[in-house]
Amino acid sequence: MKVKELITQMGSRAMDENFINTIFGFYSGELHPSSSENLAEKDYIEAMQILPDLLTEEQMNLLHEAEELYVQNRAYAARYGFLCGVYAGFRQYFTNCREADGGFGALVCEDLLMQPKMQRHHDCYLRSQKAQKYEQELTESLCEDNQEYIVSFGCAWEDRIYNAAFEAFYCGYRAAYALIEQVDPLSKVRSIPDILTLEYYMGYIRDHL
């Protein structure tokens, strides 16, 4: 077996359906639809209850097609986010890239998480464009007062995809340090300030007021 094939198989096993479902569980568990904090999910639920009465069967099929495209992109975002997190962890450890000099913040927010240059990820980009095209068609078919329901649908999926990348990024970041620690047992101790800084930066740790 070639090394490349072995690495591919290892990656597939590490980021299998169990991993993907766990990442999605963070969103549904921490931001439950009944929570007042998750307005996007509440709006989505309302929209999906109302839209069947506003759209034809053919249009609902189009909406479901858009949703399936977003489902695929969410899985892609989780896997890509994890890889970005592993990369960020190794880069921080080996290059001494710190939040204090702005380097690590730019790495997380601009290069990896916030602006992943999705055109580079051809299939994911095409799915996104296709889903947005369907949304546009459905929006234009509705009167102005009802167009908000399609907007709510799109916003909810944008949040879900972003959250999948966000949570997976952190898992990948900690996985990098877990691997490093196997070789350098004191690495995690030395890196605690960096890890805590990232956790604060990502919102896992908040100011005590």
d(CA 22, CA 174): 16
The 10s digit of each residue's pLDDT in 183-201 is: 988 887 788 888 887 787 7
Backbone angles phi, psi at 142, to 5 degrees: -105, 155
Contacts of 26 (CB under 8 A, 6+ apart): 163, 167
Closest by CA position to 154, among listed 77, 67, 80:
67
pTM more than 0.85: no
Chain-centroid distance of CA 145 in Å reads 31
Residue numbers in the chain where pLDDT is lower than 50: 32-36, 100, 111, 114-116
The 10s digit of each residue's pLDDT in 106-145 is: 555 554 554 445 556 788 888 999 999 999 999 999 999 9
Find the angle CA(159)-CA(164)-CA(59) to the nearest 5 degrees. Answer: 50
Q: Which whole-number Å values give the CA distances from 182 to 17, 89, 175, 195, in the listed order? A: 26, 14, 11, 17
- Count of positions (residues) in the chain: 209
Q: How many helices (H) and strands (E) does the chain have?
A: 8, 0
